[in-house]
Amino acid sequence: MPTYEQVVVAGGGGVAGNEDGRNVYKALFATNACSDMPQLQAWDDYHLNSVAIESLAGTVNNGFKSQVAAAHVTNIRTGGAWVPASASAGGGDMQDPNGIGTPHRANRLRGTESYLLLGDAADSPPAAGEDRFFQLAFACHDDSGTGTSGHQPVLAVKTFYAGAPPEVSFWYNRGQDDLADTQVNADWVEMTHEDKGTVMPIGIHNAIFVTGPRTLTTALDPVTKPGSGAKWAEGQWIQTAL
């Protein structure tokens, strides 16, 4: 029987779809430095060459905006209501929720048109062994289609390097998000990933399931469309057993 565990405080939460968070997902650049800032992107499938599905193309009633959003949270937490109203090239600057410190980035994701730079204005590209943290949120609009078709985007990290490529791995937090850089309550688990153009069946630790509020460890609750406007999925879960 499939079983699942929740990604705690994973940028849906039913709080305008933009819950405060920090230690949620991360990319580890384990070996070799990046020469430029990595990009978190979203695509139709593992070929990474089209953005036609509804989750990325949007709907009439939402102005054809991507329904997949991400924020860079290595330096500071998101604060509430962090999803930007519109997309930008590499993610617009978003101020520290306490009103101090360096602004960080958030964006709606759609291929190379609008991606998220995994670094803020004052950051250097990741060195070998460095983590970059990010938050995700997924929207459903009143005119969104039903079912999973058109709602299975693929996330990708594009790296830039001189010499040997960085080795990238992806992790989610099954513990608590303490909103601080100490991560004293975090419990990081590595996710399975695949290379561009190499198909791999969805398996353990390989997919983020976007769910409704009544999801259990053994059953996924679907996201219910709103009567009007948009809502952000209440939960994000990872499959832990087939």
Cβ atoms within 10 A of the Cβ of 127, count? 11
Distance between CA 77 and CA 92 in Å, rounded?
A: 15
**pLDDT tens by residue, 71-101:** 998 888 887 778 888 888 766 555 555 554 4
* Predicted local distance difference test score (pLDDT) of residue 112: 94
Residue ranges per structural domain of the chain: 1-242
* Banded model confidence at residue 12, pLDDT cuts 50, 70, 90: very low
Structure tokens belonging to residue 121: 């204005």
Structure tokens belonging to residue 21: 């968070």
* Predicted local distance difference test score (pLDDT) of residue 15: 44
* Predicted local distance difference test score (pLDDT) of residue 75: 81
Of 175, 170, 86, the closest CA to residue 134 belongs to 170
pLDDT-above-70 percentage for the chain: 90
* Predicted local distance difference test score (pLDDT) of residue 14: 43
**pLDDT tens by residue, 158-183:** 999 999 999 999 999 998 877 777 88
**pLDDT tens by residue, 89-142:** 766 555 555 554 455 788 999 999 999 999 987 889 999 999 999 999 999 999
Residue 58 has pLDDT above 90, yes or no: yes
Q: Rounded to an integer, what is the distance from CA 14 to the centroid of its chain?
A: 16
**pLDDT tens by residue, 204-237:** 788 999 999 899 999 999 999 999 998 889 889 9
**Does 107 or 203 have the greater pLDDT score?**
107
Write the secondary structure of 81-104 as one string of H (helix), E (strand) and C (coil).
CCCCCCCCCCCEEECCCCCCCCCE
For the CA atoms of 201, 221, 187, 136, the dihedral, rounded to the nearest 10 degrees, stands at: 80
* Predicted local distance difference test score (pLDDT) of residue 96: 52
Distance between CA 60 and CA 55 in Å, rounded?
A: 12
* Predicted local distance difference test score (pLDDT) of residue 91: 64
